Structure 1
Amino acid sequence: MTRPTLKSALLALALAVSVPGPAWAVLPDERLENPVLETRARDISKNLRCLVCQNQSIDDSEADLARDLRIIVRERLVAGDSDDEVIAFVVDRYGDYVLLTPPVKGSTILLWAAPILLAGAAGAGAWVAVRSAGRKTEETPS
């Protein structure tokens, strides 16, 4: 039997750390006893944005506001609301930005257009920089 080397131990540690684990944000005291309602709550929570973290769902976030939203979602489900009614309830209070995929409409068009506008601006800037650099090399006497 061979002894493990430092190299193999570090490799095992790196692999253990790099494997993603489950989201630990949803605490045991938040979970519903009814597995059907809990599954619905998790599905809804995965599509709602944490307004503190902004790029995480409330299902993944450990922020206090995300916890409050998870509790609201579960309370609404226990009260008998449909999934759409729960989402509408949250959107009425926090606006379309709370949705990880906001609807395309006048008030959210900038959210959808921003990546395209930024890419266009970056492309235009690169084009101007390349064109300007080309002119400078033509003007430089040899």
Structure 2
Amino acid sequence: MADFLAWCADIGVSSIFQVQPLHAAGRGELQTQNDAVPTVKQRLAAVRHLFDWLIIGQVVPANPAAAVRGPCHIVKTGKTPVLEPEEARALLDSIDVTTPAGQRDRADGLFFRADRRGAWTSLVLTVNSCSQGNCKYGLGGTSKPRSRRW
């Protein structure tokens, strides 16, 4: 925020009341030359949030950054590493299959895509109740039970 306000002062906008959508858009255009697109979008979101806060406090009448769209960011490939076959085998072999929970976890792990196994290994599974093959369980610490047929 300090960068945006300093930039506004440098171009002759001496008061926060004088900031126009053109200023927010211009700052975003300049930032795209030096910074990554997600960084520019995050900084624009911070400017929007500041002006939203000032509107709620009745300091400014409108948000000049509300109508400004950030640069387009398209991700074609993710950064999640894919497990090599040896790593996948080691992961599956590390699961204790002497318990029903271990057998379930190993079976679930076989069906997850290789690039999602990191998310799978971080899940926390809690079984809330089981009756006649229907179990209620929760994932990732959620309090909302989900049904699954075992």
Do they superpose with TM above 0.5?
A: no
Structure in which a larger fraction of residues adopt helix:
1
Structure in which a larger fraction of residues adopt strand:
2
For the aligned pair, the TM-score class normalised by the smaller chain equals under 0.3
The TM-score with structure 2 as length reference comes to: 0.27
Q: Higher relative contact order at CA 8 Å, sep ≥6: structure 1 or structure 2?
A: 1
The TM-score with structure 1 as length reference comes to: 0.28
